[in-house]
Chains A and B, each alone.
Chain A
Amino acid sequence: MIDTASLAMVAPEEILCVGGLVLLMIAAFVGDKSARLIGWLSILVLAGAGLSLLGLPGHGGDAFDGLYRADAFGAFTKTLIYIAAAVSILVAPRFFESGPASQASVIRPEYPILILFASAGMGMMVSAGDMLTLYIGLELNSLAAYVLASFMRRDGRSAEAGLKYFVLGALASGILLYGVSLLYGFTGSTSYDGISAAMADGLSRGELFGLVFVLAGLAFKISAVPFHMWTPDVYEGAPTPVTAFFASAPKVAAVGLTVRVALEAMGSALDQWQQIVVFVALASIIFGAVAAIGQSNIKRLLAYSSINNVGFALIGLAAGTAEGVAAVLSYLAIYVVMTLGSFLCILQMRDANGNPVEDIASLSGLSQSRRGLAAAFAIFMFSLAGIPPLMGFWAKFLVFDAAVGAGLTGLAIFGISASVIGAFYYLKIIKTIYFDEPAAGYAPAGSKVESALIAVCAILLVIGYLFNAPLASVTYAAAAALH
C-alpha cells in the first residue's frame, strides 16, 4: 500500500532527491562543461522544494506513522537551509574558476548536486520524528558534506579538512548512535513521542546516559564547546563557498534538530538537559570569543565566531519555552544572513592575480580602496558583535529576553557580559579595514551576482527591524508546532 498522504508531505525531499539524481545523470553524460547550467538548475530545484513547503509539507502533520513531521517548524528551518544552499551554489563557480592555474581547478557539476543531497538530508534532520529518521538525515547530510569539504582534492588543506571532518564526524555519529541505542534500550522506543512518554515518570540512569550521549553527539554537529575542535580546521581548509555552506545551512539544520530533540523527545526531562545546555551555551560563547582573538586567518576567525553564535542560539533553547524556540529560530534566520554576508565578503578577498587570500592583515585599509565592500564588511562585523541598530542585536535581544522570561537571569547576565569579549575581535577586523594603512589592494569585484547578494544581506541587516512583526509571527507559529 502506498501512503500517498505521507508521500505528499515529504515532497521537498522528493524533489531534491529526484532533482539531484536527474542532474547527476546530465552531469555524467555532458561532462564538466555543464557545471554552470547544473548550478542554475539546482537552484531551481531548491526553489521548487521551497515552494512545495507552502502546501502540505508545511503543515501536514505526522507522516509515515510519526517517522517524519511536516510542520511549520520544519518549513521555517528548511526555508533557511534552502536559501543558504542556493547562495552557496551561486557563489561557487567564480571561486573555483579563478583559482591558481596550476591546479586546473574548474567548477565541477557535482558541487551543486552534492549540495542538493545535503539539503535533502538536512530537511530530514529538521523534520525527523524518530531517532532513526534523524540519523539517516544526519548521515545523508554528512556524507555529502565530507565530500564537499575535500572538493578541491589537489589542495592539501582541502583534503585534510575532508579527512578531519570525516573522522571526527564519524566519531560523533557513533556517540549519537550509542545514545540512541541506550534510549531505545531503556525506553523501548525510538520515536520522539515514545521516548518522551517513557521519560515522563522520571529519568532512569540508562535514560540519563542516553540523553547525555545524544546531546553530546548533537553538540558535535552544531560545533558547540566542548565538541568544537574540528570546526576551525574544517572551516579553514574547505573551499570558501563550502565553508559558507557549512557555517549556514548545516548549522541551521543541526540547531533545529537539537531543538526538536530536546523539546519533543526529551521535553519531559527539561531539568536534566537544561543544565547541560546552559553549560554548553556559556562555554561556547566564552571559548568562541576568547579563542578568536588570536586568529590571523579570517576563515578560522569566523569558525570561532560560529561557535560563539551557536552558544547564543542555545541560550534560547536553554529557556525551554515556546518563546525560547521562537528566539532560536529568529536567531538562526538573522545569523544566516550575517554569516552568508561575511563569507561573500571573504570571497571578494583575492589578490591582483585573482588568487584567494585569507589573511586578516590583507584587509588593511580596505575602506580606502573598496568603500562599498568595506562598509558591508563593517556592517556584518558590527552585526555579529550584536551592536544596535543592526539586526545582530535583535537576534541576541530575543534569546536573552527568552532566558530572562524563563527565569534564567543569571545565564543572561553571564552570556551578555561574555558577548563583550566577542565584540573585541569583530572590532579588530573593522579596525583593520578602517583604521590601518592600505595594504596591496584586491582585484576588482567582477561578479555582479556576488555584489548584489552582499548588498541584499547588508541592507537586510540595517532595515530588518521593519520585519520584526512578521518574523515573530512566523517563528512563534513554528515554535508552536513543537509539542
Chain B
Amino acid sequence: MNEFGFPLLSLMLAVPMLGAIACLFANAQTARMIALAATTIDLILGIVLWINFDQSASAPAWQFQEYAPVFGRFAWALGIDGIALLLIALTVFLMPICILASWEAIQKRVGEYMAAFLFMEVLMIGVFTAQDLFLFYIFFEAGLIPMYLIIGIWGGANRIYASYKFFLYTLLGSVLMLIAMLWMAREAGTTNIPTLMAYDFPPQVQTWLWLAFFASFAVKMPMWPVHTWLPDAHVQAPTAGSVILAGVLLKMGGYGFIRFSLPMFPDASAQFAPLVFGLSMVAVVYTSLVALVQQDMKKLIAYSSVAHMAIVTVGLFAFNQAGIEGAMMVMLGHGLVSGALFLCVGVIYDRLHTREIDRYGGLSINMPRYAILFMLFTMASVGLPGTSNFVGEFLALMGVYQASSWVALICTTGIILGAAYMLYLYRRICFGEQKNADAAAVPDLNWREIVMLVPIGLGVLWMGIYPESFLAPMRADVRAVVARMAPAAPQGDARLALGKGLPAKTHSSHEAAGEAH
C-alpha cells in the first residue's frame, strides 16, 4: 500500500488484464467495446495518477509505491517517479487511439487482437512502474509475445519474416541483460531498483554490465546498426501495431538507459559515451538519407524514428540536465508524432490499400481536413518551433553541445535532413496534381479518424507551447540522475570559462599582490 491509500498502479494493470481475458471470450463487436472501455478507464486512471502525483520540491522521489513479496525471489514492487509518470501517460493516451484505429481495419479474429493489445498495455505500464529488477525484466521481455502475434497474425504480406526478426533480435538483446541482472542482484544483495540505482558497482565490472544492458536497450531503441528489425516490423505490422511500436515500445530502450545504464553504471556510461555518440551520429545522418529515398510511407517513418531516437541517445549521454530532459521530451514528442504519422498512413492505407507514395498525390484537394492534420504532424516531426519535437530536440542538442560540439553539429544536420524527407513526403502525397484517379476520389476523414488524430494534435501543440507541464514532473528526477553521474561525467569539449571581467578597482589588486609579497 502507498501514501495514496489505494493500489492505483495495480489497478491500472488489472483493468486491461481483465479486459484482455474478457476479449478472448467475446464476439467481434463486444471485444471492440470492451477494449475501448478498458483503455478509456486506464486513461482516466492515468489522469488521476498525474493529478495526484506530487510535483513539489519536497515530494518523495518514488510515489504510489506498492510492495507485496509474493514471488519468492522477487517482489511485486511498483512505484513511479516523474520520468515513469510521463511515459505511462503517453501509453494510456495512445492506447484508446490504437483501439479506435483498429475499429474497422481489423476484421478477422477481433477478440484475440484486442486481447493482445490490452495485454500489451499491461506489459508497457508494467515496465514503467516496476521497481523490482526481475519484475521489470519479466514485463520487458513478455512484450515480445503479444507483439509477435500482432505482427504475425494481422500484419502485411511479409509478416512472418518480420515477426521472426522482431522476436529473435530483441530476445538476443535481452537475455544478456538478464545475466547482468543476476550478477547485480547477487553483488548488491537486493532486487530493488531504487536501491540498485544508489549502489556503487566496481568500475571494471560496470563496463561489462553496461555492455550487457546496452545490448538490450540498443536493440530496443533501436540504434544503428541493430535497427534493421524496425523497418521490417513497422512495415508489416497493422497500423495500431506500428503506433504502439513507435510510440511506446521504442521508449522502453530510452527508459532503460535513464533508469539503469546511467544511474547504475555512471563510470561505464562515461567510458562508452563516445561509442554512443559515434553510433548516434551515423544513425542520424545515415537513416535520414535512407528515409529520403524510401518509396514506402511506413518505411520512411520507420527510418525517421531511428534518426529521432539517435537524438535521444546523444541527449541521454550528454551527462547534463538539458540533455536528459531534452531526450525525454523527444521521446514523448516522438511518441505522439510518429504515432500520429502512422495513423495518417493508416487512414489512407485503409482507403487505397497501398503504402506506395507514388500512388497518391494532391490529397489536399479531396481530403482537406486530412491534409491539415498531416501537415501539423509533418511540421512537428521536422521540429518546427511551437510543436513538441522542437522543445525536445533543442534541449537535447543544447545539452550535447556542452559535451561535444562536433556531435551537436552532426546531429543537427539530422534536423535539416528530417525537414527534407518529411516535406518531400508531404509534397508527394498531399500536393501536386491528382495523378491517380482512385486516390483523387477517396473521402476525407470520418468522425472516428478525427477523434483519433485531433487529441494527438492538441497534445503536440501543448508540448510545444507550454512544455513546462511536462518538464516539471521529471525535473527533480533528472536532476537526481545527473547528480548521480556527476563524479564520472567526462570533460566536455566546450571549455566553459567564466569571463574575467574588468577589475572594479585597480588598487585592490595591487593590495592583494602586495600582501602576497
Residues of B within 8 A of A400 (CB): 178-179, 182
Residue of B nearest to A379 (CB): B145
Residue A387, interface by CB 8 Å: yes
Question: Are A417 and B176 touching (Cβ within 8 A)?
Answer: yes
Contact string against A for B residues 102-117, beta-carbon threshold 8 Å, 1 for contact and 0 otherwise: 0000000100100000
Question: Are B153 and A435 touching (Cβ within 8 A)?
Answer: yes
Which residues of A (279-299) have their CB < 8 Å from a CB of B?
none
How distant is the Cα of A443 from the Cα of B176 in the complex, in angstroms? 43
Which residues of A (417-443) have their CB < 8 Å from a CB of B?
417, 419-420, 423-424, 427, 430-431, 434-435
Residue of A nearest to B126 (CB): A389
Question: Are B163 and A435 touching (Cβ within 8 A)?
Answer: yes
Partner of A387 from B71, B134, B141 at Cβ < 8 Å:
B141
Which residues of B (153-192) have their CB < 8 Å from a CB of A?
153, 159-160, 163-164, 167-168, 171-172, 175-176, 178-179, 182-183, 186
Question: Are A388 and B179 touching (Cβ within 8 A)?
Answer: no
- In the assembled complex, the CB of A391 is this many whole angstroms from the nearest CB of chain B, namely 11
Question: Are B175 and A420 touching (Cβ within 8 A)?
Answer: yes
Residues of B within 8 A of A413 (CB): 176, 179
Residues of A within 8 A of B134 (CB): 397
Contact of A387 with B145 at beta-carbon distance under 8 Å, contacts A404-B182, A405-B186 already known = yes
Question: Are A393 and B138 touching (Cβ within 8 A)?
Answer: yes
- In the assembled complex, the CB of A367 is this many whole angstroms from the nearest CB of chain B, namely 8
Partner of A420 from B159, B171, B182 at Cβ < 8 Å:
B171
Residues of A within 8 A of B109 (CB): 367-368
Residues of B within 8 A of A435 (CB): 152-153, 159-160, 163
Residue A360, interface by CB 8 Å: no
Residue B516, interface by CB 8 Å: no
Question: Are A465 and B71 touching (Cβ within 8 A)?
Answer: yes
Question: Are B183 and A388 touching (Cβ within 8 A)?
Answer: no
Question: Are B186 and A417 touching (Cβ within 8 A)?
Answer: no
How distant is the Cα of A397 from the Cα of B141 in the complex, in angstroms? 13
Residue A1, interface by CB 8 Å: no
Question: Are B145 and A404 touching (Cβ within 8 A)?
Answer: no
Residue B72, interface by CB 8 Å: yes
User: Which residue, of A393, A409, A420, A430, has the highest number of chain B Cβ atoms within 10 A?
Assistant: A420
Give the number of residues in A that approach B within 8 Å (Cβ atoms). Answer: 34
Residue B70, interface by CB 8 Å: yes
Question: Are A423 and B142 touching (Cβ within 8 A)?
Answer: no
Question: Are B138 and A431 touching (Cβ within 8 A)?
Answer: no
Residues of B within 8 A of A405 (CB): 186
How distant is the Cα of A43 from the Cα of B272 in the complex, in angstroms? 61
Contact of A389 with B175 at beta-carbon distance under 8 Å, contacts A466-B71, A472-B72 already known = no
How distant is the Cα of A427 from the Cα of B149 in the complex, in angstroms? 10
How distant is the Cα of A261 from the Cα of B42 in the complex, in angstroms? 55
Question: Are A388 and B138 touching (Cβ within 8 A)?
Answer: yes
Contact of A417 with B175 at beta-carbon distance under 8 Å, contacts A368-B109, A423-B167, A465-B71 already known = yes
Residue B53, interface by CB 8 Å: no
Question: Are A388 and B171 touching (Cβ within 8 A)?
Answer: no
Residue A2, interface by CB 8 Å: no
Residue A469, interface by CB 8 Å: yes
Question: Are A401 and B182 touching (Cβ within 8 A)?
Answer: yes
Residues of A within 8 A of B186 (CB): 401, 404-405
Residue A412, interface by CB 8 Å: yes
Residues of A within 8 A of B167 (CB): 423, 427
Residue B370, interface by CB 8 Å: no
How distant is the Cα of A205 from the Cα of B489 in the complex, in angstroms? 57
Residue A382, interface by CB 8 Å: yes
Residue A453, interface by CB 8 Å: no
User: Which residue, of B73, B168, B182, has the highest number of chain A Cβ atoms within 10 A?
Assistant: B182
Residue A143, interface by CB 8 Å: no
Question: Are B72 and A468 touching (Cβ within 8 A)?
Answer: yes
Residue A56, interface by CB 8 Å: no
Residue A361, interface by CB 8 Å: no
Residue B137, interface by CB 8 Å: yes
Residue A416, interface by CB 8 Å: yes
Question: Are B176 and A416 touching (Cβ within 8 A)?
Answer: yes
Question: Are B73 and A472 touching (Cβ within 8 A)?
Answer: yes
Question: Are B178 and A397 touching (Cβ within 8 A)?
Answer: yes
Residue A471, interface by CB 8 Å: yes
Question: Are A469 and B141 touching (Cβ within 8 A)?
Answer: no
How distant is the Cα of A402 from the Cα of B171 in the complex, in angstroms? 21
Residues of A within 8 A of B70 (CB): 465-466, 469
Residues of B within 8 A of A466 (CB): 70-71
How distant is the Cα of A451 from the Cα of B112 in the complex, in angstroms? 21
User: Which residue, of A412, A431, A469, has the highest number of chain B Cβ atoms within 10 A?
Assistant: A431
How distant is the Cα of A416 from the Cα of B179 in the complex, in angstroms? 8
Residue B148, interface by CB 8 Å: yes
- In the assembled complex, the CB of B149 is this many whole angstroms from the nearest CB of chain A, namely 6
Residue of A nearest to B115 (CB): A375
How distant is the Cα of A472 from the Cα of B73 in the complex, in angstroms? 9
Residue B423, interface by CB 8 Å: no
Residue B144, interface by CB 8 Å: yes
How distant is the Cα of A423 from the Cα of B109 in the complex, in angstroms? 25
How distant is the Cα of A368 from the Cα of B164 in the complex, in angstroms? 21
Which residues of A (372-421) have their CB < 8 Å from a CB of B?
375, 382, 387-389, 393, 397, 400-401, 404-405, 409, 412-413, 416-417, 419-420
Residue of B nearest to A471 (CB): B72
Contact string against B for A residues 447-483, beta-carbon threshold 8 Å, 1 for contact and 0 otherwise: 0000000000000000001101101100000000000
- In the assembled complex, the CB of A318 is this many whole angstroms from the nearest CB of chain B, namely 15
- In the assembled complex, the CB of B154 is this many whole angstroms from the nearest CB of chain A, namely 10
Residues of B within 8 A of A424 (CB): 164, 168
Partner of A434 from B141, B153, B178 at Cβ < 8 Å:
B153
Residues of A within 8 A of B168 (CB): 420, 423-424, 427
Residues of B within 8 A of A371 (CB): 112
Question: Are A434 and B171 touching (Cβ within 8 A)?
Answer: no
Question: Are B73 and A404 touching (Cβ within 8 A)?
Answer: no
Question: Are B172 and A420 touching (Cβ within 8 A)?
Answer: yes
Contact string against A for B residues 121-159, beta-carbon threshold 8 Å, 1 for contact and 0 otherwise: 000000000000010011001101100110011000001
User: Which residue, of B145, B159, B183, has the highest number of chain A Cβ atoms within 10 A?
Assistant: B145
Question: Are A389 and B153 touching (Cβ within 8 A)?
Answer: no
- In the assembled complex, the CB of B447 is this many whole angstroms from the nearest CB of chain A, namely 33
- In the assembled complex, the CB of B339 is this many whole angstroms from the nearest CB of chain A, namely 25
Residue of A nearest to B169 (CB): A420
Partner of B71 from A416, A420, A468 at Cβ < 8 Å:
A468
Residues of B within 8 A of A412 (CB): 179, 182
- In the assembled complex, the CB of B76 is this many whole angstroms from the nearest CB of chain A, namely 9
- In the assembled complex, the CB of B292 is this many whole angstroms from the nearest CB of chain A, namely 33
How distant is the Cα of A382 from the Cα of B109 in the complex, in angstroms? 21
Question: Are A431 and B163 touching (Cβ within 8 A)?
Answer: yes
Contact of A387 with B182 at beta-carbon distance under 8 Å, contacts A419-B175, A420-B172, A468-B71 already known = no
Partner of A416 from B149, B153, B178 at Cβ < 8 Å:
B178
How distant is the Cα of A401 from the Cα of B183 in the complex, in angstroms? 8
Residues of B within 8 A of A427 (CB): 148, 164, 167-168
Residue of A nearest to B175 (CB): A416
Question: Are A389 and B172 touching (Cβ within 8 A)?
Answer: no
Residue of A nearest to B119 (CB): A389
Residues of A within 8 A of B163 (CB): 431, 435
Residues of A within 8 A of B112 (CB): 367, 371
Question: Are B138 and A389 touching (Cβ within 8 A)?
Answer: yes
How distant is the Cα of A404 from the Cα of B175 in the complex, in angstroms? 14
Residues of A within 8 A of B152 (CB): 431, 434-435
How distant is the Cα of A416 from the Cα of B153 in the complex, in angstroms? 28
- In the assembled complex, the CB of B155 is this many whole angstroms from the nearest CB of chain A, namely 9
Residues of A within 8 A of B137 (CB): 388
List, sorted by A's number, 6 A–B pairs whose CB atoms are closer than 8 Å.
A367-B112, A388-B141, A419-B175, A431-B152, A435-B159, A468-B73
Counting from the closest, the 3 A-B pairs by CB-CB distance are A468-B72, A469-B72, A388-B138
* A-B contact sample (14 more), CB < 8 A, given A412-B179, A435-B160, A435-B163: A368-B109, A375-B24, A393-B141, A397-B178, A400-B182, A413-B176, A416-B178, A417-B176, A420-B175, A423-B171, A427-B167, A427-B168, A465-B71, A472-B73
